[in-house]
Amino acid sequence: MQRPAWRQALAQAFTDLPSLLAYLEIDPSALADTAHADRQFALRVPREFATLMRKGDPDDPLLRQVMPDSREMAPTPGFCADPVGDRHAKGSPGLLHKYHGRALIIATGACAVHCRYCFRRHYPYTGGTATPRQWREILDYLKADPSIEEVIFSGGDPLMISDHRLKAWLEQLQGLPQLKRLRLHTRLPVVLPQRITPELTGLLQSCRLSTVTVIHANHPNELSPAVEHGCQKLTEAGTRLLNQSVLLKGVNDDSETLARLSKRLFEIGVMPYYLHLLDRVAGAAHFDLDESVILRLQRQLHAKLPGYLMPKMVREIAGEDSKTPFQSVVELPGSRHTPG
């Protein structure tokens, strides 16, 4: 069988920094020391995503998301390997059941892009896709708890799995009468829009469950015409599109950029859902922002957008029974008229 085009594109992704920098026409000496940070968490960037980066600009907001940095190697107090408590969550191998009614399946550990801020960068994936045995255990877990009515495919990136296997899994899930909704959490529609194959949209279209696809874009520059086209095909397949972002210092930490992101998402048929405050995962401290800065940002963004384009700003706190909203009710001294 011929490899699908998206697999071929994936095989051509940048996996070493010198090639990526050469392509971007960036002089390596213009960059902060990377100090082998990519040995701990490899560099990985699909070519199509790299074409959206500005040539010659080491501060490009897309490049910053994927660029290994020596600061990742410095231990920082408060930043740990498992900031959201996944290793102690209820479930079975490959399944996290933290919140009422929803179970999250780690469908695979693989991703098309390696985001330096990823909270799962240290997650002990058993490697590759869930095994048939794990999958049986997952189904048994779901059957044993009829309060679960939504399954979330996450990872890694669940769309790294072949359409063939997705089809088999979906068929089994659809056989569970308790399930109402299926959700995909995936960055592939953004970093590899070719992944939206006719087979995939066909699967979504024919699914008995209501489907929700949560894409992951952090900056408006990520939303190219190809991404728009892919989202259009997903919409036509009847899946509802949402976006989640992570608030990242040096990438999207200004209200102008975030407002443009929300408006561009809306233009391509995607509603802003979450704007996550950074999970305090070891290696990501250089993306963190002060709470006072975040509060100001939240206010400025709210003032720029219609309410329905305002993402919910949340933090994930281990042990809580939902994501925790970031409260803007605290009055920050002197913040009301802060310019900027």
Ligand X SMILES: *Cc1c(COP(=O)(O)O)cnc(C)c1O
Contacts with ligand X by CB under 6 A lie at 96, 98-99, 102, 104, 152, 322-323
# chain residues binding ligand SF4, by CB under 6 A: 11
Q: Which does 286 bind (CB under 5 to 8 A by kind): ligand X, ligand SF4, none?
A: none
Q: Could you tell which of ligand X, ligand SF4, none binds residue 62, using a CB distance below 5 to 8 A set by kind?
A: none
Residue 72 or residue 305: which is nearer to ligand SF4 going by CB? 72
Positions 167 through 206 that interact with ligand SF4 (CB under 6 A): 187
Strands 240-246, 181-185: pairing is unpaired
Question: Which of 85, 147, 101 minimizes the C-alpha distance to 319?
Answer: 85
Residue 242: strand, helix, or coil: strand
Report what 111 binds from ligand X, ligand SF4, none; CB cut-off 5-8 Å by kind.
ligand SF4
311: contact with ligand SF4 by CB under 6 A: no
Query: Looking at beta carbons only, is 173 or 278 nearer to ligand SF4?
Result: 278
Tokens of 126: 């058993």
Q: Containing H/E element for 214?
A: strand 210-216
Tell whether residue 156 is a contact of ligand SF4 (CB under 6 A).
Answer: yes
Nearer to ligand SF4, 156 or 220 (CB): 156
- Site for ligand SF4 contains 157 (CB under 6 A): yes
152: partner contacted, choices ligand X, ligand SF4, none (Cβ within 5-8 A by kind): ligand X
Judged by beta carbon, residue 45 or residue 115, the one nearer ligand X is 115
Nearest approach in angstroms of CB 108 to ligand X is 16
Q: In the complex, what is the shortest distance from the CB of residue 117 to ligand X, in angstroms, rounded to a whole number? A: 16
Determine which residue in the list 50, 118, 203, 242 makes contact with ligand SF4, applying CB under 6 A. 118
Reading the block at residue 249, the tokens are: 């210092």
Asked whether the beta carbons of 161 and 85 are under 8 A apart, the reply is no
Candidates 13, 67, 95, 115: give the one binding ligand SF4 (CB under 6 A): 115
Distance CA 115, CA 238 (A): 29
Q: Which of 64, 97, 120, 296 binds ligand SF4 (CB under 6 A)?
A: 120
Q: Is the Cβ of residue 183 or residue 216 nearer to ligand SF4 in the bound state?
A: 216
| Binding partner of residue 98 among ligand SF4, ligand X, none, CB cut-off 5 to 8 Å per kind | ligand X
SS3 letters across 50-99: HCCCCCCCCCCHHHHHHCCCHHHHCCCCCCECCCCCHHHCECCCCEEEEE
> What is the rounded CA–CA span in Å between residue 146 and residue 132?
22
Amino acid at 151: V
Alpha helix stretches (DSSP H) within the chain:
5-11, 17-23, 37-40, 47-50, 61-66, 132-144, 163-174, 188-191, 198-206, 225-236, 255-267, 291-304
Q: What are phi and psi of 299, to 5 degrees?
A: -65, -45
Instruction: Name the site residues for ligand SF4 (rule: CB under 6 A).
Output: 111, 113-115, 118, 120, 155-157, 187, 216
